Structure 1
Amino acid sequence: MFEALILGLVQGLTEFLPISSSAHLRILGEFLPGAQDPGAAFTAITQLGTETAVVVFFWRDIVRIVSHWWGSLFGRVPRSDPDARMGWLIIIGSLPIVVLGILFQDEIETSLRSLWIVATMLIVFGIVLGLADWAGAKRRTLDQLTVPHGVVFGFAQALALVPGVSRSGGTITAGLLLGYERPAAARYAFLLAIPAVFGSGLFQLFKSWGQPTVYGPIETAAATILAFFVAIVVIAFFMNYISKRSFLPFVIYRIVLGGLIFVLLGTGAIQA
């Protein structure tokens, strides 16, 4: 239970920061008493807690988007309505991660969880995030989001299937490269993650039901609940932070952490 709660705490702290929660859970598992990978299923299920925090935090936005999108299907709301368009853009942006998640499910749960890959992704996508934050125009708002941009956001989110990339980090990086403001890119990244995370988490919950896992259902549930409460605080902090400051501290953190993992792997202190 103690290990599961530690992992739940870390999940809540890191899910919405562009530093990869799945990488942190994968790395942390090596330093807990059991010294083992918590597994893709545990990671996906605990993400249900953090994504529920998104639903709570953006509840009014989500209700408005869903109602306007639904109304647009029956002509009660114009299809050009910004919230109706956002509903379609979230659906379109969710397709890449669904397709790629199904096609590469075995690799996602096994070979792609190698710490060599995790460390590499932390460094590479940390540098890309830094360059995007430095070079991006940061002028576009979500009202200017187009279908092609939604597809780009979607493929960027799909990269997070590889631990170390970061779901929010990959999507925000794409938004910055396309010229969107930091808060706009982050808001769309959080909304876009809702279908993907709930779909993945519920699938893994169903798949692991009755099967032996690293942590039992009670421990996993406790970790998921803790992750929810921590994530609520982190979302509020992060949205306020990026409205005033750059992503540089997160870029530096990713590079330092990735380098440290390379050193630990190279010296045999941990196994890949």
Structure 2
Amino acid sequence: MTLFEIIALAIIQGLTEFLPISSSAHLILPAAVLGWENQGLAFDVAVHVGSLMAVMIYFRQDILQMTTAFLTRGFSKNQTADSKLAWFVVVGTIPVVIAGFFLKSYIETDARSAAVIAVTTIVFGLLLWYADATAKLQKTLEQLNLRQSIIIGLAQMLAIIPGTSRSGITMTAGLMLGLNRESAARFSFLLSIPTILGAGLFATKDLLEAETAVDWSALIYGAGFSFVSAYLCIYLFLSWISRIGMLPFVIYRLLLGAVLVAFLLW
């Protein structure tokens, strides 16, 4: 890859990992539409490491409190809000781990196409619009319960289909369950930590087994630019989402889907 492609893909990964517009779609599309070479497994790991570090540093205080509460109160009858939230993140992650384990090969070989991305971009964009337009926006993250975290976790399973958007589908589920926009987004971001970590570990395992040559400068640039763009994205998204709502992202998804359909029919 050229330096421009490295920087562009890293910024795209960092921005789209946490916006409800699908990171996998935006990393697949340059190769399908612009003819760029596939970025490869090593680069994919690097940009996900950058995104993971961004979300972990942004939520470092939350992670510390949740971890401490989980270790001290997580297995007792006297649960705290932080220990409950830690359990909800664990429980909400289990479905996507199971789905990824059994469907990973199929998704990678049969579902990574512009046609699939076009359909999922539009369909799940409309679902996000419906969830946001009809949302009661009453509950905070402290009011989340086990049943709701399981439902959000089950929704996250759909994110293994390119174009769905992991953050988009979990926010959609959160809004449908009555969470306000910021709470739905925060829980989605917290859920992303074990999900991205697990996906990165699997990809690293595949990378080590492949024994391919590694362009370390590309990985460093990729991780660095992904980190910066992801951190800014999380900060700005949480600052603005309560005011702007999901409509701008819905419009973007519909436009992107329309462009993809036009590209396929051309």
Counterpart of 2:82 in structure 1 is: 83
Counterpart of 1:175 in structure 2 is: 174
Q: Provide the rounded CA distance (Å) in 2 between the counterparts of 1:159 and 1:221.
A: 31
Deviations, residues 158-212 of structure 1 (Å, cap 9, x unaligned): 2111111111100000000111000000000000110111111122012112627
One-letter amino acid matched to 1:176 = L
One-letter amino acid matched to 1:189 = S
One-letter amino acid matched to 1:163 = P
The question of whether the paired residues in 2 share the 8 Å contact of 1:16 and 1:168 is answered with: yes
The question of whether the paired residues in 2 share the 8 Å contact of 1:92 and 1:154 is answered with: yes
One-letter amino acid matched to 2:244 = R
Counterpart of 2:56 in structure 1 is: 55
More helix, by proportion: 2
Distance 1:213 1:157, change over 3 A: farther
Distance 1:261 1:15, change over 3 A: same
CA shift, 1:120, in A, is 0.5
Deviations, residues 82-132 of structure 1 (Å, cap 9, x unaligned): 000011111000000100000001012121111100110000000000000
CA shift, 1:30, in A, is 2.8
Following superposition of structure 1 onto structure 2, how do residues 20-99 of structure 1 map, counting pairs within 5 Å? 20-32=22-34, 35-38=36-39, 42-43=43-44, 45-73=46-74, 75=76, 79-99=78-98
Counterpart of 2:7 in structure 1 is: 5
Using structure 1 for the length normalisation, give the TM-score: 0.91
Q: Partner of 1:244: helix, strand, or coil?
A: helix
Q: Partner of 1:95: helix, strand, or coil?
A: helix
One-letter amino acid matched to 1:152 = I
| Larger mean Cα displacement after TM superposition, 171-180 or 23-32 | 23-32
Distance 1:213 1:253, change over 3 A: farther
Distance 1:181 1:31, change over 3 A: same
The question of whether the paired residues in 1 share the 8 Å contact of 2:50 and 2:224 is answered with: yes
Deviations, residues 11-58 of structure 1 (Å, cap 9, x unaligned): 1121111101110111122344x5344357744542221121111111
The question of whether the paired residues in 2 share the 8 Å contact of 1:45 and 1:204 is answered with: no
CA shift, 1:258, in A, is 0.7
One-letter amino acid matched to 2:258 = G
Q: Partner of 2:111: helix, strand, or coil?
A: helix
Distance 1:164 1:40, change over 3 A: farther
Counterpart of 1:18 in structure 2 is: 20
Distance 1:261 1:96, change over 3 A: same
One-letter amino acid matched to 1:54 = V
Counterpart of 1:270 in structure 2 is: none
CA shift, 1:262, in A, is 1.0
Question: Are 2:123 and 1:124 equivalent residues in the alignment?
Answer: yes
Q: Provide the rounded CA distance (Å) in 2 between the counterparts of 1:263 and 1:214.
A: 38
Over the aligned positions, Cα root-mean-square deviation in angstroms equals: 2.0
One-letter amino acid matched to 1:69 = F
Distance 1:40 1:146, change over 3 A: farther
Q: Provide the rounded CA distance (Å) in 2 between the counterparts of 1:132 and 1:74.
A: 34
Gapped regions of structure 1 (runs ≥ 5): 268-272
| Larger mean Cα displacement after TM superposition, 117-126 or 205-214 | 205-214
Gapped regions of structure 2 (runs ≥ 5): none
Q: Provide the rounded CA distance (Å) in 2 between the counterparts of 1:39 and 1:111.
A: 18
How many residues matched? 264
User: What percent identity do the matched residue pairs reach?
Assistant: 38
